[in-house]
Amino acid sequence: MDIDVLAIAAVAITVVLFVLLSYLGRKKNVDFGILTILALVFGIVIGIVFKGHVELTAVFGRIYTNLISALVIPLLFVSIISSISSLDNISKLKTIGFKSIFWLVANTFTASLLTLIIAGSLKVGQSINFTLPTDYEPKEVPSFLDTIVGLFPKNVVSHAANGEIVPFIVFTIMVGVALVYLQEREKEAAVPFKNFIDSANKLMFVVVEFVVDLTPFAVLSLIANAVSTYGAKELIPLLGVLVLSYVLCAIQMFLIDGALIRFVGGLSPIRFFRGFWPAQVVAFTSQSSVGTIPVSVKQLVSRLGVNEDIASFVAALGANLGMPACAGIWPTLLAVLAINIFDIPYSIGQYAFLIVLTLIVSIGTVGVPGTSTVTTTALFTAAGLPVEIIVLLVPISSVVDMMRTAANVTGAATAAVLVAKSEQLLDREVYDQGKSEEGLSGAVAVGESAR
């Protein structure tokens, strides 16, 4: 059996860096966000130095991904029901639900419009000469009616096992709404189940706290693998599209969302990004909006003062509805690219309809790696564009997915803050100071560093 000396050296150095991160966190009380940034830098260095030899190092990230993924279904179940049942009445539930959906969809609209204006102005794709592949097997996209039917649960156990989040969330919302009705009509009958859910919710956040504290170690492992995997040779021909994708996501995250926080919420965007940064890093490295939910909720509650119920509800909803980058920026950018590459005549009305289609596609988008391929295929099919061109962007799609996921979770967090602020469920003292002494659910203190 051949021994990969470089792979062993990479994992040995990784372990040493893990010890260093743990020491800085436990003994020197270095801030959690700083630890995560350090891990990001360490990961880049490992990926460059040991390119092609980080398979053992990547194992740490894969284990973290499995752990964080294992939390999603039980966390969604108890947190959504607890969030909904904590509302005073059905009327309040409708108000918060409507506001959440509005801001999530509005974020997708701004992302799609922004992309259309910038990519259209730059005439992206006119200088690219591509030939469509002949061996490409397009993704099967369900019909509009099948898509609507698929949003509703059929077997919640299989939905949970297969990671089909949307129908599972619909079922969970149904249970939560039913519990609210039961509390209004027959409170004594609802109390036992309500107490169980609330207790389970606190318990899950303790478990989440344990796993989330491993984030810096996972970031080092995941980013090392990403840097090692994607080389310049595969990316150079499409470097312009890659750079533009990152720029568009950055504008959406920092300018559009920042403006919403400042002018709609009347809050400091700097405080927002400072408090939410660790969740953005996890989203960037894991490429999973759903997998980032526990971290997003933790940062929203402990660092931004968002009411726990609002944070859980909107973060979960935002991982499956809206998705400004995966359902707004990327599909629209590829659509403009295809239109310009093949010189397809497109009127202003057709461009406007393209934005409408992105909003429709954004409903029910599942927040897992690779979602953008499905949403783009659906958009291209509906708009009559050549679906085969999607395969041409495969070399950069995974790299772009890092930034797309960060933009997605930032959009959901923005919606959570705006909803909490409008409902007077935002603790301004925590938001302004960027720190909560109680932490999630009051069950555990918020760790300033990794355990």
Q: Residue 439, by phi and psi: left (phi above 0), alpha (psi -120 to 50) or beta?
A: left
pLDDT of 87 reads 64
Per-residue pLDDT at 227: 80
Per-residue pLDDT, 258: 97
pLDDT of residue 131: 56
Q: Mean pLDDT per segment of 10 residues, for the chain of length 451 residues?
A: 83 94 88 79 90 90 80 78 71 81 92 94 76 51 66 86 76 88 88 91 79 83 80 61 93 97 96 94 84 89 91 82 86 90 83 83 55 70 72 67 92 96 93 65 34 31
Q: Where are the alpha helices (DSSP H) in 27-54?
A: 32-49
Domain segments of the chain: what residues? 88-214+232-435
Answer positive or negative: Cα dihedral of 93, 96, 99, 101: negative
Q: What is the DSSP letter of 363?
A: B
Residue 308 is predicted with a pLDDT of: 87
- Provide CATH code, domain 88-214+232-435: 1.10.3860.10
What is the pLDDT, as a whole number, of residue 438?
47
Give Cβ neighbours of residue 223 (< 8 Å, ≥ 6 apart). Answer: 39, 40, 43, 44, 47, 285
pTM (global) more than 0.95? no
